[in-house]
C-alpha cells in the first residue's frame, strides 16, 4: 500500500506541471486569434501596433516576433546620428505612441540665432528622409523649440518665445523642403517653460551644463490620433 501511494504521488507531481503548458498554449492561441481578427478588420494600424507590442511584452510567440515600424525608424535614425558624428547631440528614444528625437541646439544653431548652420543641414535632411520613408501611414510630426532661462532681447527675437518658435519653424521649413507633408506637422515654441533639468541651483546660480541641456529641439514622430 505504501509503495502504491508513492507511485501515485509521483504521477500527480508530473500532472501538476502539465497544465501550465496547456494554459500557455491556450493563451498564445487566443492572442494569435486576436491579432488575426485585428489584421483583417477595419481597426486602424495604431491599435494593431499596440496589441502586437503588448503581446511582445508578455513574451508570447517568441519564434515570430513582430518588428514595429517605429523600431525600424529608431535604428535608421541612430545610424544617421553615427554617420554625422552627432551621437552626443542627438538621441532617439521610444515612447508609447512612437518615438522622440532630441537635438541639442548647439548642433543646429549659433548662440542667439535660429538659423540652421550649414554643417547641420545634411544631418537634418537625413532625419527628414528617414521619417518620410518609414513604413507607417498614420503618423504626425510634432516639432518643439526650447531655450534655457537666459533672457534674450534683440530686434529679431524680443524674447525666448520668439527664439524658440523660430528655431522650431526653421526645422519645419527644412522638413517641408525634404518632402514631408504639411498636414502631418505640428509646431510649438515653449521658451524656457519646460526645462529638462534645473537651470539654476538652490542659491539661484546658473548651471551652464544644465542650461545647455535645456536648449534643444524635440521632434516627436507619433501615431496620429483619430
Same domain for 95 and 19: no
Q: Which of 19, 39, 64 is the last residue of a domain?
A: 64
Please say whether the dihedral angle defined by the alpha carbons of residues 49, 52, 58 and 61, taken in this order, is positive or negative: negative
CATH number at residue 136: 3.30.1330.60
Residue 33 C-alpha cell reads as 486569434
Q: Which of 64, 94, 113 is the last residue of a domain?
A: 64
Same domain for 122 and 60: no
Residue 5: its pLDDT value, please?
47
Q: Check: CB of residue 101 under 8 Å from CB of residue 92.
A: yes
Same domain for 59 and 11: yes
Residue 24 C-alpha cell reads as 500557455
Residue 28: its pLDDT value, please?
74
Residue 200: its pLDDT value, please?
96
Domain that holds residue 207: 69-223
Number of domains, the chain = 2
Same domain for 161 and 211: yes
Residue 37: its pLDDT value, please?
63
From CA 162, how far away is CA 119, in angstroms rounded? 23
pTM of the model: 0.73
Q: Which of 49, 64, 79 is the last residue of a domain?
A: 64
Q: Which of 167, 163, 165, 149 is nearest to 107 (CA)?
A: 167
Same domain for 137 and 177: yes
Beta bridge partners of 206: 200
Same domain for 57 and 85: no
Same domain for 75 and 40: no
Same domain for 166 and 73: yes
Same domain for 121 and 74: yes
Residue 118: its pLDDT value, please?
94
DSSP 8-class letter at 106: G
Q: What is the SS3 string spanning 143-163?
A: EEEECCCCCCCCCCCCCHHHH
Backbone φ and ψ of 33, nearest 5°: -60, -40
Rg (CA), the chain: 25
Q: Mean pLDDT, consecutive 10-residue segments, the chain of 226 residues?
A: 49 58 70 63 52 55 66 95 96 94 96 94 96 89 97 96 97 95 95 97 96 97 83
Amino acid at each position: 500500500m505504501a509503495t502504491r501511494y508513492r507511485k501515485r504521488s509521483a504521477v500527480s507531481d508530473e500532472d501538476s506541471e502539465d497544465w501550465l503548458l496547456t494554459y500557455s498554449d491556450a493563451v498564445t492561441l487566443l492572442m494569435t486569434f486576436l491579432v488575426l481578427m485585428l489584421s483583417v478588420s477595419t481597426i486602424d494600424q495604431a491599435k494593431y501596433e499596440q496589441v502586437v507590442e503588448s503581446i511582445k511584452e508578455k513574451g508570447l510567440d517568441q519564434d515570430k516576433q513582430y518588428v514595429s515600424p517605429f523600431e525600424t525608424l529608431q535604428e535608421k535614425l541612430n545610424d544617421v546620428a553615427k554617420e554625422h558624428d552627432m551621437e552626443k547631440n542627438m538621441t532617439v528614444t521610444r515612447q508609447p505612441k512612437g518615438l522622440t528625437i532630441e537635438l541639442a541646439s548647439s548642433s543646429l544653431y549659433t548662440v542667439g540665432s535660429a538659423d540652421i548652420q550649414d554643417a547641420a543641414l545634411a544631418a537634418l535632411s537625413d532625419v527628414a528622409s528617414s521619417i518620410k520613408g518609414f513604413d507607417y501611414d498614420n503618423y504626425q510630426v510634432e516639432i518643439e523649440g526650447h531655450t534655457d532661462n537666459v533672457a534674450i532681447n534683440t530686434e529679431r527675437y524680443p524674447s525666448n518665445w520668439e527664439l524658440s518658435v523660430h528655431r522650431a519653424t526653421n526645422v519645419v521649413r527644412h522638413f517641408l523642403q525634404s518632402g514631408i507633408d504639411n498636414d502631418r506637422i505640428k509646431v510649438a515654441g515653449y521658451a524656457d517653460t519646460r526645462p529638462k533639468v534645473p537651470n539654476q541651483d538652490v542659491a539661484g546660480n546658473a548651471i551652464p551644463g544644465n542650461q545647455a541641456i535645456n536648449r534643444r529641439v524635440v521632434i516627436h514622430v507619433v501615431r496620429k490620433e483619430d
